[in-house]
Amino acid sequence: MRDGFYFSVQASETHYCTPRVGRGPWTAVEVGYLSERIEAMMEYIDVGPDSDPLDSIYGWVPIDIIETAIEEHGGWRYVRNAFIENYWGQSRGLRCEMTSNDI
Q: Give, in order, the Cα–Cα distances in Å from 99 to each of 18, 50, 83.
A: 25, 27, 18
pTM over 0.85: no
Q: What pLDDT was estimated at residue 85?
A: 41
Q: Give, in order, the Cα–Cα distances in Å from 30 to each of 20, 87, 103.
A: 11, 24, 25
What residues of the chain score a pLDDT lower than 50?
82-103
Query: In the chain, which ranges are continuous DSSP H helix?
Result: 63-72
In the chain, where are the structural domains located?
8-98
CA pair distance 29, 40, nearest whole angstrom: 14
CA pair distance 80, 61, nearest whole angstrom: 21
Q: What pLDDT was estimated at residue 77?
A: 66
